[in-house]
Amino acid sequence: MTTRQHDFLVFIGRFQPYHLGLGRVVAQALDAARHVIVLIVSAHRPACVRNPWSFRAREAMIRATLSAEDNTRLHVAPIMDATYNADLWLANVQTPVSGLVAAH
Amino acid at 9: L
Helix, strand, coil abundance in the chain, percent, nearest 5:
45, 20, 35
Q: Which residue has the higher pLDDT, 70 or 51?
A: 70
Residue-wise pLDDT tens digits, 2-55: 678 999 999 999 999 999 999 999 999 999 999 999 999 988 888 899 889 999
What is the model's pTM?
0.92
Q: Report the phi/psi class of residue 80: left, alpha or beta, with left for phi > 0 and alpha for psi in -120 to 50.
A: beta
